[in-house]
Amino acid sequence: MQKLILSNKNKIMWLQLVLILLAFYGHYGAHNEPLAQGSFLLAGILGILPLAIQAISALRVNVVSIDVLVSIAAIGALFIQNYEESAIVTFLFLFGSWLEGKTLDYTRSSIKELTSMAPEKAFVQQADGTFLEVDVDEVEEGDIVQVKTGGKVPVDGLVIAGEGHLNEASITGESLPVTKSNQDHVFAGTILENGTLHIQSTAVGEDTTFGRIIELVEEAQDSKSAAEKFIDKFSKWYTPTVLVFGLIVGLVTRNIELAITILVLGCPGALVIGVPVSNVAGIGNGAKNGILLKGSEVIQDFASVDTIIFDKTGTLTVGNPQVADEKQYPGYNHEVMTYLAAIEEESDHPLGKAILKHLNLQDLPEVGQTDVVKGGGIVAQVDNHTVAVGNLYLMEDQGYTITDQMLKDASDFEKRGNSLVLTAVDGKIVSLFGIRDQIRPGVKEQLQTMKELGVKNLVVASGDNQGTVDLVAQELGLTEAKGHMLPEDKSNYVKDLQAQGQIVAFVGDGVNDAPSLALADIGIAMGSGTDVAIETSDVVLVNSDFDHLNHALGLTKATDANMKQNIFIAIAVVVALILMVFFSDWMDMAIGMLIHEGSILVVILNAMRLLTYKLR
């Protein structure tokens, strides 16, 4: 019976409304008091049933919930034959619960939209070369799938044939189509606007970037911030306090109606719903814009950040450096060039790619044993030669002789904003390359926006030389520049700032900077949602764009402010209602509950503004 009543709670609410309208008709229209009072009585009893069941369930686990207050008040109203107030109070309470549920469903619209974008079918290549339509769950890693115009990409993978324009809004938040061709990476859930693509899958199902985004948003919307946890604890003692206060007032004044009115007016409904609906709406807005906020606690911490540390390469710069200067020393020849190119071909470092592109050599020798020196470079065996490729730290670490001329050349390169890559063969330094990256377009203006949003300190921390980092900081107007920073140096720097009382956010690529991302108060990964970024950081900007970073910062500040506004509204209404009970003649249970439910509607509408938030 209990399950039947609770499962039909909304139907009971609408039946109550019909009975209440019938009662008002009997009283004011037909002047039939038995009809009016009977309808109010039946409406009150119907409304009490689900509330009483919920109240008893709460009491069984030692929780004095809002349902307990309203149930006692409604039963008390029936006891003193105030059927009208019992009916109206229970109806308004059930209506408020229904409204809260509908609103939370609406604020969770982002996750619903994401889920609806999930592909259900895929055309998978068979052994005879034809493509067969199957459920997306049947696709495995390594399978080749075909996507035609208007179709959804069912997997993460690499394009192996074809060309077309993909709408990646579900991943990056950007609606402008992106051209994809051979060897380009594509994401599940994106839509092919024209062309035909053959894609070899690298991740399927929940392992795709799209699947992880959905999982992250679901977890974030279900998480609780410090404010929500406080309110949960607060309501546990607040509700019994209201119950005891109402009992004391009833005993002292001998006025049962006044006592049960206090129970109704003291309900903290707006306080309980106000904070979660703000956080859910804020997280939903972020998800629509390619910003993954991993939980409600992240929102409050990010909103309070006063220092942001940036990695340089790929964050402040475009991450596509080129060889700008070159010095050759005795012993440098074509053979050495092939050794260098062979080593860099096996590296995925941006500086290595720049050198490889600059040398543009074919038929490279095989690289033997390779040792990576953390923060320095690589030492490898090539054609029975020991070849070292890296920075000055590596050369010093290996004990190689660095002449005064080399130091002067290195200093000149650094002053021009270059990163240094030296090459040594069999213990002798034979070349020096100066490699420069380009500042991301528009970054200077976007950093200024961060200052306007309240960030006091903007710092660049990089493994590059100090001269290069200083030039970047000077050009962008940053507060501080830290060069020659190994991963552990960045982590220690974050700790030092935190020890000074600063709330620190670290922005990196989510791979090399994983320790700092994890240690900072807020770790922000700019990139396409790599595994390390998602696991380590608190915020993932799927599209590496500073506009999205500013939107995320502004959104968290707006969400935090919205949450505080809702707390104030909820507390102010309860205090005002209690005062009006004692200092006004017109306040009663029904009017109080109407105002109470009105306050819930106000905090809901206030929170829903976040769904359309845009950075000014």
Which residues are annotated as catalytic?
311
Q: How far apart are CA 103 and CA 601, in angstroms?
A: 9
What are the beta bridge partners of residue 457?
307
Question: Which residue intervals of 184-255 are DSSP H helices?
Answer: 209-222, 226-253
Closest to 420 (Cα-Cα) out of 351, 373, 348? 351
Q: In whole angstroms, what is the distance from residue 2 CA to residue 51 CA?
A: 11
Q: Distance from first CA to last CA of the chain, Å, rounded?
A: 54
Q: What are phi and psi of 441, to 5 degrees?
A: -60, 130
Q: Dihedral of the CA atoms 58, 62, 66, 67 (nearest 10)?
A: 30
Token pair of 200 as six digits: 């070899």
CA distance 58 to 247: 20
User: Taking a C-beta distance cutoff of 8 angstroms, is the pair 548, 315 a contact?
Assistant: no
Tokens at 598, concatenated: 């009105």
Task: Encode burial over 174-208: b for 16+ CB neighbours within 10 A, e otherwise.
Answer: beebeebeeeeebbbbbbbeebebbbbbebbbeeb
Letter string b/e over residues 259-291, b meaning 16 or more CB atoms within 10 A of that residue's CB: bbbbbbbbbbbbbbbbbbbbbbbbbbbbbbbbb
Q: Read off the tokens for 447.
A: 């950093």
Phi-psi region of 477 (alpha: psi -120 to 50; beta: other; left: phi over 0): left
Chain centre to alpha carbon of residue 443: 22
| Spatial distance between the Cα atoms of 316 and 437, rounded to a whole number of angstroms | 10
**SS3 state of residue 587:** coil
Residues 6+ apart with CB under 8 A from 65: 54, 55, 58, 239
Compute the chain's Rg from CA coordinates: 33
Do 47 and 10 form a contact (C-beta atoms < 8 A)? no
> By the 8 A CB rule, do 195 and 165 touch?
yes
